[in-house]
Amino acid sequence: MAENSLFAILLRSPWWVSLAIAAVLALIARLLLPADYAVVGMLGIGLPFVLIGALAARRQLRAPSRRQLEAALAQMRTLGGEPLVAAAAHAWQADGWQVARHAGAGADLVLERAGRCRLLSLRRWKAASTGIEPLRELQAACARRDGADGIYVHGGELSDKARDFARTHGLTLLPAAELAHKLAASGALRSGR
């Protein structure tokens, strides 16, 4: 699904937004359609939004609270390299990815699922600012893996050149807060991984 499609935006929005849209569309269908077709029109136009609202509600109910995210980020800061890599491996495995250690420079983990390969770099996530060099290393590692996608975790600011390099080479920039969300949601930090 495209990141900025209507349904993708609604999945990221509060669940009730989709249900409100479904209700408004159903009301419009009820008012505009003849009585014989009103129920079918209301269901046909509103059902996709009800389903998106249900999916969003399910995600939001399972999502960690703000307190849990802050605790996960604080715990991430105390972890050394290996425990954090192990926790990240657990989180991606919980999402259905096959995870292996990356041998070589530029990345820490190899993530594979459904024929897709991604390299994850956690090497300098605590840095206050990041330049282009660690992204070049990740991109080179991706090139050695037959064009795998790259994910670079960062906790600080990225230089404009680093952002441009990532965009040009198709690297995903993952803020540490989003990694903390993933780790908290998967239970990777609670379980001591």
* Coil, strand or helix at 48: helix
**pLDDT tens-digit series, residues 93-141:** 988 899 999 988 888 999 998 888 999 998 777 777 888 899 999 999 9
Closest CA to 51 of 29, 21, 20, 18: 18
DSSP for 70-115 reads: HHHHHHHHH--HHHHHHHHHHHHHHTT-EEEE--STT-SEEEEETT
DSSP conformation class of 9: H
- Summarize pLDDT for 61-90 with one digit per residue, the tens: 876 677 777 777 787 777 777 888 888 899
Q: How many CB atoms lie within 10 A of CB 19?
A: 18
193 has pLDDT over 50: no
For a pLDDT cut of 70, what percent of the chain falls above it?
Answer: 95
Please name the helix (run of DSSP H) or strand (run of DSSP E) that holds residue 151, with its range, or none.
Answer: strand 149-154
Instruction: Please report, for residues 73, 79, 84, 85, 183, the alpha-carbon distance to residue 122 in angstroms, rounded to integers and kept in the order given.
Output: 14, 12, 8, 7, 13
The per-residue pLDDT for 184 is 80
Mean per-residue pLDDT over the chain, rounded: 86
Residue 119: closest CA among 152, 87, 93: 152
